[in-house]
Amino acid sequence: MLNNKLLELAASFRSSPGSPATQTMSVARRVRGALRQPDKPGFVSAFCQTNCGDVSPNVLGAYCTDTGLPCDFNHSTCGGKNELCYGRGPGYPDEFESTRIIGERQFRKAVDLFEKASEQLKGEVDYRHTYIDFSQLEVTLTKVGGGSEVVKTCPAAMGFAFAAGTTDGPGAFDFKQGDDQGNPFWRLVRDVLKTPDKKQVDCQHPKPILLDTGEMKQPYDWAPSVLPIQILRIGQFVILSVPGEFTTMSGRRLRNAVKTVLTRSGNGEFGSNTHVVIAGLTNTYSQYVATLEEYQVQRYEGASTLYGPHTLSAYIQEFQKLATALIKGQPVEAGMPPPDLLQKQISLLTPVIMDSTPAGENFGDVSSDVPANSTFKRGSTVTIVFWSACPRNDLLTEGTFALVEMLQGKDTWTPMYDDDDFCLRFKWSRPSKLSPQSKATIEWIIPSSSSPGVYRIRHFGASKGLMGSIRHFTGSSSAFVVA
């Protein structure tokens, strides 16, 4: 069956007749109608991360917030500082609009692929899974001109450019991308935690080590060393489950290497129509995987490639082994799984101590309401402010923080939009960082397709008392008219 979220997303793109959003809904209705026909095969969809390590929704480029000029290309800095360099999405400066545009583009492509799909998967369903210690894995490389050499991966480490962040989210202080040297001050800070030995420094070269995470063990390992890798087969469709973020080129090389093993096996089951895809961030997380060339440059992705310059080659080697075993129907060693640290986890996230409201106010009360007997036109924005509490008290999974209801009849309020809809925005804030008081601002940008009538906006949340008890609350705005 078609993923319900796909259809829900289609329903969220409400607009006027003939608009692209309405056409999208029409496509979704046709998809749904086709699926209801008993003679049609079923369909299962999945939206997976693939090789996403250097992919960004900020497609307009990166600019300095102080000057408006493009950032330094090699280091993503502005006047030598990374904090001012930010990427711009297609809806700049409105990040909500950028999110909507990117989401709709992905949805439209998914529908396009669905409607044009013609190839049927045929063949066996099979898999191979193993655990590999990537901290000191021997990797055999083929030399240019012939011959081979054996190299090793390294215990995990993060480079200086890791702390610089990216243009999607810059870091702080004086770190910058493209740094293959480091600086003396931060080396001293690093050495307080753990000084990497010469063997580790040489292994990770040219990455200057900021955090020697693979050799930091208190209160438990700071980085994983044993990783799960897995290959799944559904006929001629092959999925590579990887526990990290591969860059575009890393993913391409891994897919090509595995496809070569499959198509040259000679067993006739895999031909030119073999499809190999990557499912990223699977089963655990081990940061990024850059190519050898990207690693030399030491931008954020290279600095976050944990196991040294040969990390990608290690993945390719081990996935080729899994692919060979899959073709030959041979088992693989399960490997030693990593330790279960679930009961030892610590969190550096400051907990919610308590929530409160001013004297005479209750959670869910309106702080700023619509004017009495107010009327709004389509396209205008209705803004309501409620006394609220920290959303972390209850994320309201499968629920909503905000709801727009329409009056039906004399006293029946019918839900029309919730915080899944791009037209309804929920913004939470505190007057100050140390204050237990907070507010929720709910903005409804009235869609052009909204029916005239009487509406109200509701807010849902949960507050935490001084003794730790959680209590849910609701609030409602005054009624208003949409003309």
Residue positions annotated with a catalytic role:
56
Q: What is the DSSP letter of 300?
A: H
Name every residue whose Cβ is closer than 8 Å to that of residue 326 and which is 6 or more positions away in sequence: 126, 127, 128, 231, 233
Show Cβ contacts of residue 275 under 8 Å, excluding neighbours closer than 6 positions.
236, 237, 238
User: What's the chain's length in residues?
Assistant: 483
What the block records as the tokens of 251 is: 């993913």
245 carries a ligand binding annotation = yes
Determine the angle formed by the axes of helices 311-328 and 248-263, rounding to 10 degrees: 30
**CB count in 10 Å sphere of residue 313:** 21
User: Mind spelling out the 3-state secondary structure of 172-189?
Assistant: CCCCCCCCCCCCHHHHHH
**Token pair recorded at residue 8:** 């829900």
Structure tokens at 383: 């803004």
Copy the structure tokens of residue 71. Answer: 């950032």
- The beta strands (E) that lie in 216-360 are given as 226-234, 237-241, 245-246, 275-279, 288-289
Can you point out the beta strands (E) in 98-137?
Answer: 125-133
d(CA 304, CA 290): 8
CA distances from 482 to 21, 268, 456 (A): 21, 64, 10
4: left (phi over 0), alpha (psi -120 to 50) or beta: alpha
Of the candidates 140, 130, 121, the one whose C-alpha atom is nearest the C-alpha of residue 330 is 130
Q: How far apart are CA 463 and CA 436, in angstroms?
A: 10
Alpha helices in 194-247 (DSSP H): 198-204
Do residues 300 and 166 touch, judged by C-beta distance below 8 A? Answer: yes
Pairing of strands 245-246, 470-476: unpaired
> Is residue 124 marked as binding?
no
Tokens 């590999």 correspond to 132
**CA–CA dist 282, 114 (Å, integer):** 24
Q: Which residues pair with 230 in a beta bridge?
A: 129, 241
Beta strands in 260-345 (DSSP E): 275-279, 288-289
Does residue 455 sit in helix, strand or coil?
strand
DSSP annotation of 437 reads B
**Residue set of the binding site:** 245, 288
Q: Which residues contribute to the annotated binding site for Zn(2+)? A: 245, 288
